[in-house]
Homo-oligomer: A and B are copies of this chain.
């Protein structure tokens, strides 16, 4: 069987002896010293330089995802570092592997829901959309993605701040509007306060940018990579992994061991 090879192409970067170009910009002349790391991420993902307003909101979105304390992901990274301190990169990789549907599910889910229910018409009745959506989720006994929080009650302190940054930069558009209407309607329908959490706010902002909902996970991954390097450095100086291990190992098998 003779196969005709297909061309292999990438539009991200190219180099010659004296030039390095990323997304059409000269890395030395147009990128280094001109933009910040969040802008570089925006450029790498979209192929475009962010406007100042996009820069402000995008940096805030990714920064929100950098650090969440001692998460399962941080514990996995620290455990890995304890076994392979010579492979810092593998410890970060281990921590990232767990950023799946449980961790980033509600952020992805909020973005996906907003895209699905947003009417095409500019003058659509968003209150009606919110009512229908809340009624449907209540009827199906499903949890609205982006709502509820075990600790941050009744307000997730990140949510109003993210919306304020979006408003200051002219990016609090229809998706932010719609999730806030859903929030109001959900509280009205249940008669109880309900937290609109950071994952809901972030999902709405991703929609304002027009990012596909599947990309949302990537923002969490790049942000958490930064956070995990910080955890590994702390682990190197002030370790907790071995202590966690010893406590858990001892307890876990104690019910089986002969006295």
Could you list which residues of chain A lie within 8 angstroms of chain B, going by C-beta atoms? Answer: 3, 5-22, 27-29, 31-33, 35-41, 44-45, 55-56, 59-60, 62-64, 66-73, 75-77, 79-104, 151-153, 155, 157-158, 160-162, 164-165, 168, 214-215, 217-223, 225-227, 229-234, 236, 238, 240-253, 255-258
Contact = CB atoms under 8 A, between A and B. Distances in A.
Given A72-B83, A86-B101, A222-B226, 17 more contacts: A6-B243, A7-B255, A8-B252, A9-B251, A10-B253, A16-B257, A17-B152, A28-B158, A33-B164, A36-B36, A75-B76, A84-B98, A84-B99, A86-B87, A92-B93, A93-B94, A215-B233
10 contacts: A6-B243, A44-B227, A45-B229, A72-B80, A86-B87, A88-B217, A93-B93, A96-B96, A218-B232, A240-B248
Chain A binding surface SS class: helix
Given A89-B217, A151-B15, A3 B44 contact: no
